[in-house]
Structure 1
Amino acid sequence: MRAVVIERFGEPSGMVVVEVPDPAPAADQVVIRSEAVGVGGVDAAIRRGTLGGYDFSEGLIPGSEVAGVVTAVGHDVDRSWLGRRVWAFTGTGGGYAEQAAARIDDVTALPDSLSSADAVTLGSAATVAHFALAHAHFTAGESLLVRGAAGSIGIATVELAARGGAGTVAVTTSSAERGRRLRELGATIVLDRAGHSDQHEPGAFDVIIDIVGGDDVPAFLDRLAPNGRMIAVGAVAGMPPADFGMRLMRSFQQSRSFATFSLNTVPVPTRNAVRSEIFQAAIAGHLHSVTHAALRLDQAAEAHRLMDAGSVFGRIILTP
């Protein structure tokens, strides 16, 4: 089969399409003929070499999210999965390929009326958004800021918070056009990347969901209201300064807090059940799949160039 491998760290040109053996399922796995592959910020971080723990000596197939049809099952997997359309998390890689293997625990059946493209746009991102809001103990009437709202996690967070009765849904983004589109999805206040507005200062926030990270984390901690909670679900701009926690200590009497969130900490049955609910919400029109572009598998490097340029609104998908 054809697959994209990372031959060297750094620029998108380090990814090339090669022929590799078809995957064979382990005992608890299925093999999926991919119809859509999600391209995410973590893929770009791995490609740049900014995430440790990966061995590139023989090339790594990036990508962790696919949707398609089950073509083979391991001996511990019910054979009724054969021929079914599914969404799957493939682990630390393996997604940028015509076929991918995934543990059956990381597979969710797809409704007939949901496309594979919509599944990979929402399957991981909206599930992360749901549990990040829960991790923040977000409740109706509270004010929320989504930092880095133009990506798939940010868009899902905006929609879920608006549906959940947020008093204010503020977003940071890089252009007026992106702000307009985010307002259509439920945002009520649009700020620049630094968290400011030419029209008015929105004040403090009860909850901040941060997908960006980087050097500006301390400044956003200062935007928390008393008892405010900031949840980091990504770090596309890199790690915050080593002493960023001092901002919390200096505002001790405000009882502010900072936490990280990873979907890995949610029990598998719980996150799979929520993902199924998200797919049904999309079918009902309560959540929207926002796809920036659908590119061919051999255009993976172009997909990463678009991400590096910061020009993506929503999700890029690859079609093997």
Structure 2
Amino acid sequence: MPEENPLNQSQKQLNDIPLSVLDLAPIVTGGTPSDSFRNTLDLARHAEKWGFNRYWLAEHHNMPGIASSATSVVIGYVAAGTSKIRVGSGGIMLPNHAPLVIAEQFGTLESLYPGRIDLGLGRAPGTDQTTMRALRRDSRSDGQDFPEQLDELRSYLNPSSSAGMRVRAIPGEGLNIPIWLLGSSGFSARLAGQLGLPFSFASHFSPDNTLPALEVYRSNFRPSEVLDEPYVMVGVNVIAADTDEEACWLATSMEQQFLNLVRNRPSPLNPPVKNMDELWNPFEKATIQQQLRTSIVGSPKVVKEKLQAFLDSTQADELIINSQVYDHKARLRSYEILSGLK
């Protein structure tokens, strides 16, 4: 868990904040991307019914276990199959794309589903270096020009800031599409603060940087026409089940996924196993447990206590929950339990 909240802020309660869903559209062993997309829409419909605030999908490439590479397309699919939950990207990796293309894609989504689309942006590739080069073509595009790309994208959506533009995003121009910056370090945290934008931090895979990045964001925040005060959403892995034993068993699928990444052998999401010690060595175990140390796994009582402790330390304004569970019904049950904790 992150350390105790260093700021003298009034403590927030779980009941006070929205919960949202981060879906990596997992492809499971023995399954297909078609299965993943059906499960994604089914989860989104349940999340809407259970009162979750937003439903985000993430851009990853060359990953056998993640189906959401064409993120904008999947967002449209989910938005079309739901009616009120916000749907967006967690996130679009902007250096992989021309800003004009993203402005047009999300302008199209916002035109189709007005008032429901979020545009979360990251500067990492969402893949390995070889695939990054295949995506970007230009090896000089390494994310260092992310602030300039962001400025260009925002100018297409708000042309009043760039009078006389000869290139226009249609659809996109003049639409109110909330832009979030996403990060796992301090770079985007500082930029989001300076621009007065909402910030989402990936604590679900970068726990050590969580509190430092949130402090960077809050200390650099400048009010803007978007926000008067900082707004932080923090990502966290949660796997809930009716018993602690079942939840720990289900969580071995996520642990295997991280183990395969450590071994540079990304794979589909595997079924749970009884004993992870038969799969990893002591060094791998220590590495993965450190990376997953903010993950919350257990029965409803345990999850509620640990999630409140996580909120106490981060003082997040919103939590976005990732649940990598092999069995779709068990994954639904995990989110159902979460919805009942508030």
TM-score past 0.5 threshold: no
TM-score by length of 2: 0.29
Structure ranking higher in helix proportion: 2
Higher relative contact order (CA 8 A, sep 6+): 2
